[in-house]
Structure 1
């Protein structure tokens, strides 16, 4: 009996990382994703006697459990947007408007995926991009599940129907609706010309160096023409290099020009934690910033100032000088 149990655990454990990514895409919450993966494995353990290898692979079986756990968790919950998907763009110098009770999309630390699977599961990086996960939030929970199963995970219509306990025709219909919704609302970033890893590092290192010097003109040279900045939990967001520069001038004037940046990775994208020197003289945690890098420069900066986000990245509240 012990050998059977050990064999079952060995078969299901390698899928933990991709299931964490799946639950994150569905929920847009790091804590919820971790909790739902735990729930998935608990349910799989309890139902291990019901698993029939002749009917489906263990991976498909686990995805069936995880997807339905996610769909149940989403019942009665609001979507997790980003400001650019919720309100119109604002002037960069407009006073901050707090989102109130809005529950925002959270960034996913890359370290969580490696912690779940030290070998590193082969997960398509673009499927975790913040912009893509934000776009998914505009779909119904079931449309979201179908789009992910079919277009991200490459399950067939029949396999997706088995996972969702429905028909292939229903899966295909939901997929068409999901595609149309994203296309009609121009929610997907298509055709992004993404530079190589080495070129991305150059862009990001230049950006961080200019930021630490409070060099606004230097920052503007590293931005794409249509760069977008958004800052949950604030509703404010804006587009354009000049607007970006105006905001950064205001920020450095208000928060000071003495900064230290600590590199991070989130959603398969470069990121950094920004610390400003406070009145006490120590560098205090200010924001986590997730960058999208295109061939023409930094094209998006998603700036988070949220204690739950800081905690998920394990960010220290202050830096030793």
Structure 2
């Protein structure tokens, strides 16, 4: 019996979104490219001969759709990737010309390996690779395809795949996967984070930081390193006032995240930014605050509190 396209293809939609996100570094772009993938697959499903699984066939289409899209798109960085850390003398300015890396909601059903392969540091590092190297590394290391399967997906030779993977590993050799801490393990720390941030208790906030903590805020290119500089930023540049903020927990890129709301003159708390935290042990090592307020709806966060 012939299985209809929707029944055969729909179970893979979420993992294809994660795949396109790793390739592009953008939730919005990934959603568009998954739609393009399914449109192309639907049009050609009648010619699908079943020589590979439907999943492998869809990944081949999605990867090629992503590679085509990357021909006309710049890489998506985080502020940390662009320059040295800022000081008190650097003005805080926004740059909307840069296509910044975006966070993605974590799939609650995702296995641990998938959550690790979408964390911000990993996806940001992928953006430094040429598109085809990026695809090879994802197909080999994340999806665990063989060199032969990867070569078939990308119309490359096995030797070319192995060479591209070796070069990708060399460029990413400093990136480690052993610093991921699941949100449940960090719950006491995160509870203190919410309490301290809503009260704007700066000593309590910086007391949770690692010595090399990074604080970044796309679309602001400026970023800060170390508890003292973050404390200066919060005291002098953050508009929140004590007990004038509310935080709603979510999860992004397999990491704890919070929608931050500030109280406005009418007493209503409205979105300010989306914080994504990186935790190592009992310390917060990085806070990436995204000021793209369209992300609140993508994460199922309310428009007001």
> 1:216 and 2:216 equivalent?
no
Greater helix share, 1 or 2?
Answer: 1
Say if 1:125 and 1:178 are closer, same or farther in 2 by CA, change over 3 A: same
Query: Which residue is equivalent to 1:168?
Result: 158
Give the alignment of 1:77-116 within 5 angstroms. Answer: 77-91=73-87, 94-110=90-106, 113=107
Alignment match of 1:151 (pick from 133, 141, 146): 141
**When the two structures are aligned, how many residues end up with a matched partner?**
303
Question: What are structure 1's unaligned runs of at least 5 residues?
Answer: 115-119
Task: State the Cα distance separating 1:196 from its structure 2 match.
Answer: 4.9
Contact 1:60 1:159 in 2 (8 A): no
Which residue of structure 2 lines up, in the alignment, with residue 52 of structure 1?
49
Match of 1:30 among 27, 32, 38: 27
Does the CA contact (< 8 Å) of 1:203 and 1:293 recur in 2? no
Stretch deviating more after TM superposition (276-285 or 76-85): 276-285
> Which TM-score applies when normalising by structure 1?
0.88
Q: Which runs of structure 2 are paired with 1:200-279 in the superposition (5 Å)? A: 200-251=186-237, 254-257=239-242, 258-279=244-265
TM-score by length of 2: 0.93
Structure 2: gaps (5+ residues):
none
Deviation at 1:4, TM superposition (A): 2.0
RMSD: 1.9
Farther-moved stretch of structure 1 (44-53 vs 169-178): 44-53
Q: Secondary structure at the match of 2:33?
A: helix
SS in 1 for 2:294: helix
